[in-house]
Amino acid sequence: MTAVAGTRDGSDVPQEQSADGSTDQRRELAKANHVLVDQGILDGFGHVSVRSDEDPTTFLLARNLAPGLVQPQDVQVLTLDGDTDDPRKPYLERHIHAQIYRARPDVRAVVHSHSPAVIPFGVSSVPLRPILHMAGFLAPRVPVFEARDTMGAGSDLLVSSAESGVALAEALGDAAVVLMRGHGSTTVGGSLPEVVYRAIYTEVNARVQVEAERLGACTYLTDEEAAATVATNTPQIGRAWQYWQDRAV
């Protein structure tokens, strides 16, 4: 291995490049794909990206490929316009990632998924709210993106243009998760482990909330409780990340 330019997580640890050209970030991104498939968040569709450590005006995202098949060499570098020099076909919905990175300098990683338990909260009047302590990041609110507002009444609901990406980023605002009506959700975080954690527990929270609501009126985390759980849980994410990587193929 030889050291190449760039650092990870703002540290002075240089990125390592192996003989096949893959870097630590590319390998970690490939692993994040596999973890999200193993955890039932991604299937043949959806994607995860990370902002480049070497150039924060670019981000890394796999080429147009099922997440379970992604390897480090499948990772492309894209600009905040969603463009790439890589001749291989990119994802149609790369604009989700590009426009969120443009709008949110604090965001270092993005997951877009169609995980099913979340869908009802994007199509009904019931808001997704933090009901368990592992999902405090859902507070204070989870906004819903309505595709018709920018894409008209007959769209395919996909965020496949810069214009719709801008609208999605505006709907997200400063939240951690935005629901996409009739489509799925997009989750953001400060690192790949954090965004994977959030995507997993957004789906868990949705399942638990539906079950709890069937029993009657529910008690949700207050904003203060939610903030306290985030402060406690965030430093613990590495433990789960290690386990999730180990069990993923």
Please identify every residue annotated as catalytic. Answer: 93
Asked whether 240 and 197 are in contact (CB, 8 A), the reply is yes
Helices 24-38/237-247 angle, 10° precision: 80
Half-sphere exposure of 38 (CA within 13 A, CB side): 16
Q: In what order do the strands lie in the sheet with 144-145?
A: 75-79, 58-62, 47-51, 109-113, 184-189, 177-180, 144-145
CA 164 and chain centroid, separation: 17
The span from the CA of 54 to the CA of 197, in Å, is: 24
Q: How far is CA 222 from CA 132, 205, 237, in A?
A: 11, 15, 22
Burial 190-228 (b: 16+ CB within 10 A, else e): bbbbbbbbbbbbbbbbbebbeeeeeeeeeebbeeeebee
